[in-house]
C-alpha cells in the first residue's frame, strides 16, 4: 500500500503565506511526477503546480510568481510554498503522485487539506 500524508493547510489572511507538505510512504520503486491540485466549492478540480523527478516545474497561470513547488526525493516529499495568498486561493488542496511499484504505474491522491484565505 502507498499512503500520501498531507499537512500545512489552515486559515490565513490575504497576503499571508502557507507551506503545504505531502509525504509518500510504502513500497515505492520510483516516483515520477508530484503535484498539487485544488478544488473549490462548485468548481472543477484544477492543477496548481507539478514537478518532475528531474525538477522541471509547471504552474497554473493564476499562481505563477506566488507559489513555488519543490520536492525532496530522498524523503518522497513534495512541498508547495504559497505566498501572497488571495481569497480566490481558498480550496481543498490535494497532493497527486505518479509512481511505480511492482512494475506498474499508479496515480495516487492524498486526502486533501483545506486552505482558507480570509480576513
Task: State the pLDDT confidence band at 28, using cuts at 50, 70 and 90.
Answer: confident
> With contact defined as beta carbons under 8 Å apart, do 9 and 3 qualify?
no
pLDDT digits (tens, 9 = 90+) for 84-115: 999 999 999 999 999 998 889 999 999 999 99
Angstrom distance (rounded) from CA 97 to CA 80: 14
Q: What is the 3-state secondary structure (H, E, C) of 57-101?
A: EEECHHHCCCEEEEEEHHHCEEEEEECCCCHHHCEEEEEEEEEEE
C-alpha to C-alpha distance for 40 and 115, rounded to whole angstroms: 10
Quote the pLDDT of residue 1: 84
Find the mean pLDDT for residues 67-87: 97
According to the model, what pLDDT value does residue 110 have?
Answer: 95
DSSP 29: S
What is the predicted pLDDT for the residue at 76? 95
Amino acid at each position: 500500500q502507498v499512503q500520501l500524508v498531507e499537512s500545512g493547510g489552515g486559515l490565513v489572511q490575504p497576503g499571508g503565506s502557507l507551506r503545504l507538505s505531502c509525504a509518500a510512504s510504502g513500497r515505492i520503486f520510483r516516483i515520477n511526477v508530484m503535484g498539487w491540485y485544488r478544488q473549490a466549492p462548485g468548481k472543477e478540480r484544477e492543477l496548481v503546480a507539478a514537478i518532475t523527478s528531474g525538477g522541471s516545474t509547471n504552474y497554473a497561470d493564476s499562481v505563477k510568481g506566488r507559489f513555488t513547488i519543490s520536492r525532496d526525493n530522498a524523503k518522497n516529499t513534495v512541498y508547495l510554498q504559497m505566498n501572497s495568498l488571495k481569497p480566490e486561493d481558498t480550496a481543498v488542496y490535494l497532493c497527486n503522485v505518479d509512481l511505480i511499484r511492482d512494475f506498474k504505474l499508479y496515480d495516487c491522491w492524498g486526502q486533501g487539506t483545506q486552505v482558507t484565505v480570509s480576513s
